[in-house]
Structure 1
């Protein structure tokens, strides 16, 4: 009997590669997209490092979210699509449309091609950024019912792009989906083990802390979740009948400050204790610095903001049970030390 074929977009990505690992472990065949065929060896290296020796059930196709080209071929024979890929963000954009338009268009290329190929369900990797932004004076945990308020001031283009691209996917399903199903997974900050030295930017915070690059931390709270649990939630969202038409916040439900993260690392890795920060940057100083340095503006906009989240829906509906944030943070650090990313 032929194995069910799952298309995973952007196979070299941190979340995508962990999804591919779990799909192969569970007996699926996987086709993954790469922006360039040069990335095939990189993906194979990550998957092999994750413990999969035989790659017979893994295939590749070159396609890109910047155009419709090859998406029809990518979908041939596919049962399910998991779509973690997102366009490469521009840091030096002149207009926010440079970030928003590729995100929205890319999602629609995937959705249209999937529908035309009679794919059963698409699982879209959205983001916490599509949920929390633009809500002032919040005191109760964010849930899947929340959407970022794009009419608020200081909404950053990244959060806008994630909100508008997810909205576009739901609108497509409603108006043009022809019965195709959609579920979304919205992760908070993603931690967990890195499999090769070519690591994700979502983990750069841990590297900078351990290397002593951070003398004081901003007063920013966040949820954290392990990449392995984000991957398992995607698989549950792909197969569970209850998941169709639903959003799922991928979070442990814990809220940690950046100082909490530093303290977890200090306790777990005493050899690095002297390099880790013990102080917070006052909000006023950070906001003043952000006026001159655009790279600090997004962080400055998050200072002192409530960041509580609930994972009750994923637990109740799908039986998802993530490991604690502390475990995910320690796993990130340990893998970075083992791979020589962090200086000893």
Structure 2
């Protein structure tokens, strides 16, 4: 019976992918356009944030090694501060994830709208968002191993274009375009870097998801810390390389106004059809990210219900 349960659990690769897709799946899609409003000086923000994110990842990794229980951040908090902090951590994280899931669904629908203009009315947007949320909810019914496999597939929808851009994009990279975008608003370095950090730090949300899912992972003492560090490091490299090259290809004013920056850059490098394909791939990755976040939210609420802090219905599987 126990061996059958273990076969349904997530391995190191699946968990690393889940951490990476939770961070990148929806985070990176709009980042180049958002950072263009600060300028290419945001590269300095990336360096500061990546170092900080790895420190946070290491902290979560150590906590995961010391705390063998399920519950992630909530369990770590309880070890130090008691049951009330477990509830506060679980409840605030749960609310955060509910809001995040809706926001990701809205983002995914926004990328679909160019292909389905009729989704532009409020009522159609509402039904579209609900449909995406139900689709990703049902996809999680197969258990953690299935979720890991789906996430491992959908993440390529963003990794292939972004990693491809990081490698081949340098053929189109223009140093002058990059320098023109360096500090378009002529703010002080400290102000610009601080503004960029507000965006780049948000991109690393998801570091904590491996710990939150520890109950559904094979050998969590080993795999959770490794997945946190590998997932964060991989995301940092991809973030810095892709946003850097895109700022040297697309003029800053055009990039900052874009609603699909990766589609825009591939249209610029090749043709609009390639841009549309990349945009569709980004939608798939966004939905894969939503799948991972819904799974994480279920694990957080189940751990709290198992402790008697959430309604019992959340503990049922």
Give the TM interval when normalised to the shorter protein.
Answer: under 0.3
Higher helix share: 2
Taking structure 1 as the reference length, the TM-score comes to: 0.23
Structure with the bigger RCO (C-alpha within 8 Å, sep 6+) is 2
Higher strand share: 1
